[in-house]
Amino acid sequence: MDYKIIADSCCDVTEEMKKETGVEIVPLTMRIDDKEYIDDHTLNIKDYLKDMKNSKSAPKTSCPSIQDFLDRFRDKDNIFVVTLASSLSGTYNSAMQAKAIIQEEFKNKFIHIFDSMSAVIGETMVHLKIHECLKRNLRNTEVVERVSKYIKEMKTFFLLENLDNLIKSGRINPLIAKAANILNIKPIMGDDNGNIRLVDKVRGYERAFKRLVDIIGEEGSRLEEKVLGIAHCNCIERAVRFKEEVMKKYPFRDIKVVEMAGVSSTYANQGGLVIAF
């Protein structure tokens, strides 16, 4: 089948994944003060993290334009797109508007836009699920059905070491954040249909790290059938250690580790871990 998988740049992928799935990434842009950054291969993540830390303002992100998607919708007959949760970004709406325009021109072209209901590694896992279905030569309707079911069942969790961006953006009360820093409390958060929920709060990073491993067993099921994704923000050693701890306890079919690009790093910040399965 003549097909293409497209994702926005919050879908963190390795070079190996790109070769395997052929995913085409549509970049978002970030802005810190008066400086703009494009979330593509030219972005130096370490410099970007340093700029975020040195700025008193919260970084802002901008979704791709309708034209960004139109440019990528013309060359294949069957197109599958996965985006950031529509509750977090306008990317889904841009893709949907581009779909409406292109299908006026090409009546027989198949385009389906998946709202990942997640971000970061959650989006990565959805794109891998699309590819898995396509490798099995499933019909378009079957791909949509199976991937939509996967999205509804997927679990996503976050362990953040640094709350600076959440404080700057007003997502956390500064007094609460200050108290959390003084008491060394690390929140573990989860995805709830595209919204963020507090799963647990633990004193000390090491305890929170171990608690996140335990949460997999408490909230997961049929793990032997599933693939675990781990995304890290500039902390590969931490991600590898997490993978090793998980492998001791759970029979995942496979475990994928990726480094966060720009938009994901904006959310998670230095030292952040995001997992999905």
State which of 97, 119, 153 marks the end of a domain: 153
Is there a domain that residue 22 lies in? Answer: yes
Q: Which domain range does residue 176 map to?
A: 156-276
What pTM does this model have? 0.94
User: 182 falls in which pLDDT band (50, 70, 90)?
Assistant: confident
pLDDT tens track for 133-142: 999 999 999 9
Measure the CA–CA gap between 129 and 133, rounded to whole angstroms: 6
Closest by CA to 120, choosing from 272, 269, 231, is 231
d(CA 143, CA 112): 10
Number of domains the chain contains: 2
In this structure, the number of other CB atoms found within 10 A of the CB of residue 237 comes to: 8
Q: Is residue 137 part of a domain?
A: yes
Give the percent of the chain with pLDDT over 70.
96
Specify if 123 maps to a domain.
yes
44 found inside a domain: no
Average pLDDT for residues 197-218, to the nearest whole number? 94
Find all residues with CB under 8 Å of 87, minimum gap 6, and list them.
Answer: 193, 194, 195
Q: Clarify whether residues 175 and 237 are in a common domain.
A: yes
Chain segment 52-62, per-residue pLDDT in tens: 999 988 899 99
Both 127 and 16 in a single domain? yes
Per-residue pLDDT, averaged over 68-91, amounts to 95
Q: Is residue 54 part of a domain?
A: no
Q: Is the model's pLDDT at 165 over the cut of 90?
A: no
Asked if the structure places residue 171 within a domain, the reply is yes
Do 16 and 114 sit in the same domain of this protein? yes
CATH number (domain holding residue 203): 3.30.1180.10
Q: How does residue 167 score in pLDDT terms, banded at 50, 70 and 90? A: confident
CATH number at residue 97: 3.40.50.10440
The pLDDT of residue 70: 97
Report yes or no on 34 lying in a domain: no
Polymer length in residues for the chain: 277
Q: Which of 153, 185, 214 finishes a domain?
A: 153
- Assigned domain for 249 exists: yes
Q: Are 176 and 182 in contact (CB under 8 A)?
A: no
pLDDT value at 1 more than 80: no
Interacting residues of 211 by C-beta distance below 8 A, sequence separation 6+: 188, 200, 202
178, 267: one domain: yes
**Following CA atoms 229, 231, 235, 239 in sequence, which dihedral angle do they give, to the nearest 10 degrees?**
-10
CA triple 151-156-157, angle to 5 deg: 175
Q: Is the pLDDT of residue 166 over 80?
A: no
- The residue out of 112, 129, 153 marking a domain boundary is 153
